[in-house]
């Protein structure tokens, strides 16, 4: 059985109607609480789901105002769901992403996925390493100035802007000014926040937000749409021979079965890459920085690797296979703090998953937050230990004991891009700086659609050249 939430200390809302009854035998033999799960306004979903699993086990059925939900935690069940055509994504994210790859399914999704897949294979993303290194070097200059001035850096925000700049530069050959990047990040954050509020209906919270009637959602979405339409228009204005050979040009010039993509379709794919392709990586990094500051011995091993492999060089392609510990830190950060911490699907027709009846229309939930902490698969599951990923011969105990990038037909398109990017950013910045959170002990997981930090990590960045490296036995950062 998976452990209950240890990290999120927000209490269940006082109006919690989760009864303390023993498992019920209701629909099929699936255990779960009796009656309706209904919160007034707020719930801590990490605590709520963790608590259900603690009480009822790896499969829990509960009833919300919107209908029945079944939470599946065992990796075998996760695999079945992700690989089955019966489970489709709910339509929520369509409000933001339209028919983009991350929101669609069926023939439209298949054709788009086929179109883009090749560019995101390891060989397709390899050339982006120079953009990643260049943009990170820009961030390093800003950190150098902050270090000299003794000013704190909002590391979470810095990671978010940096990864946005990288996605825009790598896929759309566009340069975002600091101001533009900040405005776009704020707009994306706002829309993801708002959609998060609706998605909580699966945890028993009523719909308290209607995007089409909300002015701030409309204005944030308008800002994102404007930025995308602007990029499309500028690119289309160029003669084909003058267009950079990037994803944007490829999409504009693509011929699908139904002809070229229209502006609406182009917008949907570009927004998908912007929204799906930066905050996730930024969060993986933000959690990695926090974990490292809390574990000086892990940080010391990182410095040893970076000094040995890179010295004073920026990472290049040939270095990546040698940055084993750097990458393992990112992977372990995503185990304990998966940026996409849960996924919801809807059953198309009646089904049975490993003996559990799943009637048509049931909402099926899987949660990397819970499965990644499953005691049967992860010894000492709450401990941050990159060594779990540092030995290539040692594989996770089950393919779906670890699924930060999902799996099956919708497995993250940007997985190789993101892993390379996070490794390069961490290597390039940790090669030069030690990060010391000033509010570290107060940072908690803030679950919405993604697993954010609350508050964002504020840190002093110290130049490593100017300071001695701490010994493994040095006290913690806080």
Report the residue number, 275 or 302, with the smaller CB distance to ligand HEM: 275
279 contacts: CB under 8 Å, gap ≥ 6:
160, 163, 188, 189, 192, 339, 450
* The one among 309, 418, 426, 451 contacting ligand HEM by CB under 6 A: 418
The correct pick among 60, 81, 92, 102 for binding ligand HEM (CB under 6 A) is 102
Question: Shortest approach of ligand HEM to residue 273 CB, angstroms?
Answer: 5
Rounded distance between C-alpha atoms, residue 358 and residue 61, angstroms: 10
Please give the residues from 9 up to 48 whose contact with ligand HEM meets the rule CB under 6 A. Answer: none
User: Smaller CB distance to ligand HEM: residue 54 or 99?
Assistant: 99
Under the binding rule (CB under 6 A), the answer on residue 275 touching ligand HEM is: no
Say whether residue 136 binds ligand HEM (CB under 6 A).
Answer: no
Q: Report if residue 404 touches ligand HEM, rule: CB under 6 A.
A: yes
Considering only 24-32, 33-41, 60-68, 408-416, which stretch makes contact with ligand HEM by CB under 6 A? 408-416
Of residues 201, 280, 314, 423, which one binds ligand HEM by CB under 6 A?
280
Helix axes 263-276, 155-172, angle to 10 degrees: 140
What track of x and - describes contact with ligand HEM for positions 435 through 464 (by CB under 6 A)?
A: ------------------------------
Looking at the Cβ atoms of 284 and 427, the one nearer to ligand HEM is 284
204 binds ligand HEM (CB under 6 A): no
Would you count residue 405 as binding ligand HEM (CB under 6 A)?
yes
Q: How far is the CB of 113 from ligand HEM (least distance, A)?
A: 5
Q: How far is the CB of 95 from ligand HEM (least distance, A)?
A: 15
Among the listed residues 281, 301, 367, 432, the single contact to ligand HEM using CB under 6 A: 281
- Least Å from the CB of residue 110 to ligand HEM: 9
Do the Cβ atoms of 92 and 195 come closer than 8 Å?
yes
Q: How far is residue 268 CA from its own chain's centroid? A: 19
Does 272 contact ligand HEM by CB under 6 A? yes
Q: CA–CA separation, 423 vs 320, rounded Å? A: 8
Count of chain residues binding ligand HEM (CB under 6 A): 24
Member of 276, 315, 437, 440 binding ligand HEM (CB under 6 A): 276
Q: Please tell me the distance from the alpha carbon of residue 263 to that of residue 226, in angstroms, as a whole number.
A: 12
Regarding 406 and contact with ligand HEM (CB under 6 A), the answer is: yes
Q: Which stretch, 21-29, 208-216, 279-287, 353-361, contacts ligand HEM (CB under 6 A)?
A: 279-287
Residue 273 within binding range of ligand HEM, rule CB under 6 A: yes
Q: What distance lies between CA 121 and its chain's CA centroid?
A: 19
CA 422 – CA 304 distance, rounded (Å) = 18
Output the six-digit token pair for 470: 């701490």
By CB under 6 A, what part of segment 325-384 binds ligand HEM?
A: 339-340, 343
C-beta nearest to ligand HEM: residue: 414
Smallest distance, ligand HEM to C-beta of residue 220, A: 20
User: Using the rule CB under 6 A, is 75 a contact of ligand HEM?
Assistant: no
Q: Closest approach of Cβ 314 to ligand HEM, in Å? A: 20
Binding to ligand HEM (CB under 6 A) within 282-321 occurs at 284
> In the complex, what is the shortest distance from the CB of residue 281 to ligand HEM, in angstroms, rounded to a whole number?
4
Q: Which residues bind ligand HEM (CB under 6 A)?
A: 89, 101-102, 113, 167, 272-273, 276-277, 280-281, 284, 339-340, 343, 404-406, 410, 412-414, 417-418
């Amino acid at each position: 059985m998976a452990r209950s939430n240890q990290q999120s200390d927000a209490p269940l809302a006082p109006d919690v109607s989760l009864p303390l009854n023993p498992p019920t035998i209701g629909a099929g033999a699936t255990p779960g609480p009796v009656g309706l799960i209904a919160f007034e306004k707020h719930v801590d979903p990490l605590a709520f789901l963790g608590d259900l699993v603690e009480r009822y086990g790896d499969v829990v059925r509960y009833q919300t105002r919107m209908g029945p939900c079944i939470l599946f935690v065992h990796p075998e069940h996760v695999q079945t769901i992700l690989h089955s055509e019966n489970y489709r994504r709910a339509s929520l994210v369509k409000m933001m992403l339209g028919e983009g790859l991350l929101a669609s399914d069926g023939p439209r999704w298949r054709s788009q996925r086929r179109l883009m897949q090749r560019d995101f294979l390891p060989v397709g993303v390899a050339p982006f390493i120079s953009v990643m290194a260049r943009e990170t070097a820009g961030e390093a200059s800003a950190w150098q100035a902050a270090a000299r001035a003794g000013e704190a850096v909002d590391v979470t925000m810095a990671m978010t802007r940096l990864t946005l700049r990288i996605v825009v530069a790598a896929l759309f050959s566009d340069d975002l000014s600091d101001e533009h990047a900040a405005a776009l990040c704020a707009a994306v954050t706002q829309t993801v926040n708002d959609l998060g509020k609706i998605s909580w209906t699966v945890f028993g919270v009523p719909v308290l937000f209607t995007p089409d009637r909300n002015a701030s959602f409309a204005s944030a979405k308008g800002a994102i749409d404007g930025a995308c339409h602007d990029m499309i228009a500028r690119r289309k204005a160029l003669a084909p021979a003058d267009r950079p050979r990037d994803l944007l040009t490829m999409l504009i010039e693509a011929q699908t079965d139904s002809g070229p993509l229209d502006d609406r379709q182009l917008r949907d794919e570009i927004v998908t890459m912007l929204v799906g392709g930066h905050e996730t990586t930024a969060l993986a990094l933000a959690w990695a920085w926090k974990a490292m500051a809390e574990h000086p011995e892990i940080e010391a091993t990182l410095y040893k690797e970076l000094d040995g492999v890179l010295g004073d060089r920026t990472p290049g392609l040939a270095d990546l296979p040698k940055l084993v510990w750097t990458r393992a830190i990112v992977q372990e950060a995503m185990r304990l703090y998966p940026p996409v911490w849960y996924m919801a699907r809807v059953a198309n027709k009646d089904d049975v998953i490993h003996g559990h009846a799943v009637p048509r229309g049931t909402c099926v939930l899987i949660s990397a937050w819970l499965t990644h902490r499953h005691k049967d698969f992860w010894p000492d599951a709450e401990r941050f230990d990159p060594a779990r990923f540092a030995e290539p011969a040692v594989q996770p105990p089950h393919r779906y004991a670890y699924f930060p990038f999902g799996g099956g037909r919708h497995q993250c398109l940007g997985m190789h891009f993101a892993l390379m990017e996070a490794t390069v950013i961490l290597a390039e910045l940790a090669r030069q700086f030690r990060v010391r959170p000033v509010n570290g002990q107060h940072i908690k997981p803030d679950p919405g659609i993604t697993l954010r930090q609350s508050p964002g990590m504020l840190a002093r960045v110290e130049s490593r050249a100017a300071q001695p490296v701490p010994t493994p036995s040095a006290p913690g950062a806080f």
